[in-house]
Chains A and B, each alone.
Chain A
Amino acid sequence: MKRWLVALLVLGLSALAQEALKVGVVVSATGPAASLGIPERNTFLMLQEMLDRTGGVAGRKVQFVILDDASDTTQAVRNTRRLVEEGVVAIIGTTTTPASLGMIPVVAEAKVPMISLAASKDIIHPVDAQRHWVFKTPQTEELMARAIVADMVARGVKTVAYIGFNDAYGEGWARFFEAEAKAKGLQVVASERYARTDTSVTGQVLRILARRPDAVLIGASGTPAVLPQRTLKERGYAGLIYQTHGVANPDFLRVGGKDVEGTLLPAGPILVAEQLPGTFPSKRVALDYIQRYEAKYGIGSYSTFGAHAWDAWLILKPALERALKRADPAKDLAAFRAALRDEIEATRNLVATHGVFTFSREDHLGLRFEDAAVMVRVENGRWKLERIFR
């Protein structure tokens, strides 16, 4: 009789102690994209601590399985396969566009929802049979190009020149920026390229100067974006200089020094969260993220890139709660993954750090331009809010 009771008790307890929900994460914690991948990884480590403290989602434990792809596409694809085999319910990542594109066929074949942390529109557009499974949180070049051109028009710019990386980043920017500029009646008078490893851009800059543009856009990311700007300054260019949101990191200010003073760039609103007006929708969420991140990693340590990872979780968490009502991952993982994908797509008016997400069947980015982009100016080595589009 006693033994009976014990057996019953054990059975009952084991039914309560359910399997943890596994969420796969791929980030570029090493390699050239490390300056973006590290804050993303840190954000998930911080989330893991918080979830362990508060008991997870809908009474279930959540476990992030975090893998590094070393900024390499092949490694990202391998990681994705491994995560699928581990039985994760969704995959968040990865940091870079080429590697994210490589992951798409894998998650589509395995029918696992994925939320990318990379920039390019090609990751989620057009929503076809494969991209049916793919969402992303960062703003696209297209959205940011809109912000730049709107700012140029407002400042009375008529002619513009472009100089950018001779890789996917620079080409993507050239495509979207030049199309948007022409659509808004600006004249693109020069379109130059340079390499990340270049030590001189004198030739390109002279060609730009010879055309006398009112403004120049530099389509580059990180510290290599400083070189064209310094060369323009040295050659006495007096017009407006724009950069992309790829330079929104402290290293750019450190290397650029007084050469990048006055730079205009589009950015996710979180870059200047404390300067946003109180009515700005994402302000509270952004400040909350910054405060949590800095409490763990130090004052001034947060970056806009880590916030994209936070947004991915803000989207996934309520979707998980809703999907758990529809299917049980322990009984039928495939059905749960499909339900989770549908619930992510059903996200409406979700306020996050970079904007407000509303997905639909055709739109897997879900950001509204007005809420997701602001213009920022470099002033005394700091980011200063210059213009909002609301």
Chain B
Amino acid sequence: MDATILSFLLLDGLQNGVVYGLLALSLVLVFAVTRVILVPIGELLMFAPLSLVWLLEGKLPGTLWLALALGGAWALMARGRGALLPLVGGVGLFLLFLLAKGVPPLAYLAAVLLVVYLGVATYRVFFQPMRGATVLSLLIMAVGLHVAYQGLGLVFFGPEQFRPAPLLSGEVVVGLSWQGVLVLLFAALSLMVLYLFFRFSLFGKALLAAAENRLGARLLGIRPEEAGMVAFGIASLLAAFSGLLLAPLINAAYFMGFMLGLKGFVAAILGGLASYPVAFLGALLVGFFESFTSFYASAYKEALVFLLLVPALFYQSLRARTVEE
């Protein structure tokens, strides 16, 4: 272990860590507002680059039909004026996809909007009807959706990996590519925007209020359904951007999302599923820990990373007040 290796490992850990961090933030946000542990966030992350690859090859990805089908279900469930948003959004998305075939800048936009639409529709169709359910029921639904989306991913995109071209090629310094810098910049920007959003905008404060106390928020005229849709929207947006920026570095495939999501979840648990800064720091810790274990004991890396959960859960259980479900 010399300085060069150390610096490489730190850079590698940082780059992986910030992605886990963004996923951890998404998971904490969604959990706080809706009490859903969003297991399929990894699939949403992978759908963005895979859909992009399909679009750049001039094909319409299967994810588009999935999103439109869920949008249709959403419109049927909403009825009346509420059906306007999914219908207009769905038509707009479809037209955008027709325009974006083989047109790079539009294709990026289309891939992001697709995942956001899919994420919000997922909440509206599957989770909102079970609003009053226990955390466990919501988790079972989330796991079911993860399995379903992963299976559909295989149907839509086949078993192999894909690699979209990086937005920026080359290396800044040895060990850090320009694409990696983009990932870091995006993470920093997201953190800033989220902070400002929750701190200064009325809507952000309302979201926090809904997360803090659902009943109280409703008494003050904040609709939990809307809060849930926004939370899923933000989570999907972060996942989609992370996926698009990461794919050139890691290759995208239908089966790769789950592990990313799971490590984001480990980080979120380190933050007690409650604190954004602690979750993000936890994610960096997971990233560094993974990087160093892959150097020292690569055969045991996955096991060691998930072992991190044990002390975190132990600590949480010690300081937890019993909550009446």
Contacts and interface: CB of A to CB of B under 8 A. Distances in A.
Interface string A26-44: 0000111111000000000
Interface of A: 30-35, 163, 166, 192-204, 206-207, 210, 222-224, 226-227, 234-235, 251, 255, 257
Contacts of A195: 259, 301-302
Given A166-B302, A197-B259, A223-B251, A206 B9 contact: yes
Given A207-B295, A255-B251, 11 more contacts: A193-B299, A199-B246, A199-B249, A203-B290, A203-B293, A207-B298, A222-B161, A224-B161, A226-B161, A255-B160, A257-B163
A206 B8 contact: yes
Contacts of A227: 250-251
Contacts of B171: 234
Contacts of A196: 255
Nearest to A201: B294
A197 B159 CA distance: 12
A194 B298 contact: yes
A41 to B, nearest CB: 14
Nearest to B163: A255
Contacts of A226: 161, 163, 251
Given A199-B256, A199-B260, A207-B295, A251 B160 contact: yes
Contacts, number: 102
Interface in B154-194: 154, 158-163, 171, 175, 177
B141 to A, nearest CB: 23
Interface string B87-112: 00000000000000000000000000
A166 B15 CA distance: 23
A26 to B, nearest CB: 18
Contacts of B255: 32, 196-197
By Cβ-Cβ distance, the 10 closest A-B pairs, closest first, are: A203-B294, A203-B295, A223-B161, A199-B250, A202-B12, A251-B160, A193-B299, A197-B259, A192-B298, A223-B160
Contacts of B260: 199
Contacts of B251: 223-224, 226-227, 255
Given A166-B299, A195-B302, A227-B251, A200 B291 contact: yes
Contacts of B15: 200
A260 to B, nearest CB: 12
A223 B153 CA distance: 16
Contacts of A30: 154
Interface of B: 5, 8-9, 12, 15-16, 154, 158-163, 171, 175, 177, 246, 249-251, 253, 255-256, 258-260, 290-296, 298-299, 301-302
A32 B256 CA distance: 12
Contacts of B301: 193-195, 203
B253 A204 contact: no
**Max count, chain A CB within 10 A of own CB: residue among B12, B154, B159, B291:** B159
A210 B5 contact: yes
Nearest to A209: B5
Contacts of A206: 5, 8-9, 295
Nearest to A224: B161
Nearest to B257: A197
Given A166-B299, A210-B5, A227-B250, A203 B161 contact: no
B298 A193 contact: yes
Contacts of A34: 154, 158-159
B291 A203 contact: yes
25 contacts: A31-B154, A31-B159, A34-B154, A163-B298, A166-B299, A197-B256, A197-B259, A198-B259, A199-B259, A200-B16, A200-B290, A200-B294, A201-B294, A202-B12, A203-B294, A203-B298, A204-B295, A206-B5, A206-B8, A206-B9, A210-B5, A227-B251, A234-B177, A235-B175, A255-B160
A227 B294 CA distance: 14
Contacts of B162: 255
Contacts of A234: 171, 177
Contact of B291 (A163, A202, A224, A257): A202
B256 A35 contact: no
Nearest to B2: A210
Nearest to B171: A234
A200 B12 contact: yes
A235 B5 CA distance: 11
Nearest to A199: B250
**Max count, chain B CB within 10 A of own CB: residue among A33, A192, A202:** A202
Contacts of A33: 159
Contacts of A35: 158-160
Nearest to B155: A30
B159 A194 contact: no
B9 A203 contact: yes
Contact of B16 (A192, A194, A199, A224): A199
Nearest to A231: B12
A32 B259 CA distance: 16
A194 B259 contact: no
A234 B259 CA distance: 24
Contacts of B163: 226, 255, 257
Contacts of A200: 12, 15-16, 250, 290-291, 294
Contacts of B253: 223-224
